[in-house]
Amino acid sequence: MASIIDGKKIAEDRILEIKSNIEKLKKDHNLIPGLAVVLVGDDPASRTYVNSKEKKCKEVGIYSEVHRLPESITELELLKIVEDLNNNEKIHGILVQLPLPKHINEDTINEHISYEKDVDGFHPVNIGNLQLKRPSFVPCTPKGIIELIKSTGTTIQGKNAVVVGRSNIVGLPTSMLLLNENATVTICHSKTQNLKDTILKADIIVSATGIAGLITGDMVKQDAVVIDAGIIRVGDTMVGDVLYDDVLQKAGFITPVPGGVGPMTIAMLMQNTYEAALKCV
């Protein structure tokens, strides 16, 4: 029976730590970290995410601005807003909530955010620097995943880690971080032919596919660390990629959904914004 990794509790502890660091930054350098969140349109899920980011900023002492923009905004107008935020000295981190409406190119927008304010870590320069093991903003979910793995006391070095899913937001950067921690990393995806055999070799499994219940108990090695980065709405509840009750019997450690990876993501966003401000000291 697996130990449950309490992401909510771990995130709360990190939030307290970040809050105290921010207080110190204010006291020592009279500097208040600032985060700008740009929300286009009124997708209900995006609105919820943005609200919780705003709330969390208040909690830790980050100045935040939310730019709520109509669905009809043009790419050029949005670029202008990003440009203004790039030049705004009160703002250390900029986050454009995805997805954007179809008439706006997400790549163009992400690339226009100054890579020094790119607290989401989606800019090509930050992605390149992460691979080069150079200082960079690390995407929030992957950064949180590594902290959750470490919270179990597991040594990552030399372990077989399997990442299922290769998105730019979760799968790929998580693979790079695990590699930087000296795991042997296998990246699986929709074209992988022998998913079960591959996952069965893993000491550490990170799943980030958005396919509910993809990872079942028979695919998991006894006592593996299982991190579930999936979050799928099924009726009124949220489930993950991992068939929880089933895998719980096999894994050594497991994250629940909700209450696992999710709370860490927002804590890491606060951490990245703090780090962005720290660079201005």
Site residues (CB under 8 A) for a second copy? 107, 123-129, 131-132, 134, 157-160, 166, 168, 172, 175, 179, 182-189, 191-194, 198
Min CB(244)–a second copy separation in Å = 25
- Annotation says 53 is catalytic: yes
User: Considering beta carbons, is residue 87 or 194 the nearer one to a second copy?
Assistant: 194
- Give the closest residue to 36 by CA, choosing from 99, 118, 154: 118
Min CB(160)–a second copy separation in Å = 7
User: Considering beta carbons, is residue 62 or 113 the nearer one to a second copy?
Assistant: 113
**What's the half-sphere exposure (Cβ side, CA atoms, 13 Å) at 67?**
21
Set 56, 97, 143, 203: catalytic member: 97
User: Considering beta carbons, is residue 70 or 124 the nearer one to a second copy?
Assistant: 124
- Give the closest residue to 174 by CA, choosing from 121, 95, 124: 121
User: Considering beta carbons, is residue 110 or 255 the nearer one to a second copy?
Assistant: 110
- Which residues on adjacent β-strands are paired with residue 66? 37
Distance separating alpha carbons of residues 278 and 281, to the nearest angstrom: 5
Set 56, 118, 120, 250: catalytic member: 120
Buried b / exposed e over 81-119, threshold 16 CB at 10 Å, is bbeebeeeeebbbbbbbeebbeebeeeebbebbbbbbbb
Distance separating alpha carbons of residues 92 and 270, to the nearest angstrom: 11
Distance separating alpha carbons of residues 195 and 230, to the nearest angstrom: 17
Helix (H) or strand (E) run with residue 234 in it:
strand 232-234
3-state secondary structure of 84: helix
Min CB(41)–a second copy separation in Å = 24
Min CB(176)–a second copy separation in Å = 8
User: Considering beta carbons, is residue 125 or 278 the nearer one to a second copy?
Assistant: 125
- Annotation says 97 is catalytic: yes
Distance separating alpha carbons of residues 213 and 108, to the nearest angstrom: 34
Min CB(175)–a second copy separation in Å = 8
How wide is the angle at C-alpha 123 spanned by C-alphas 56 and 96, nearest 5°?
A: 40
Q: Which residues are the active-site residues?
A: 53, 97, 120
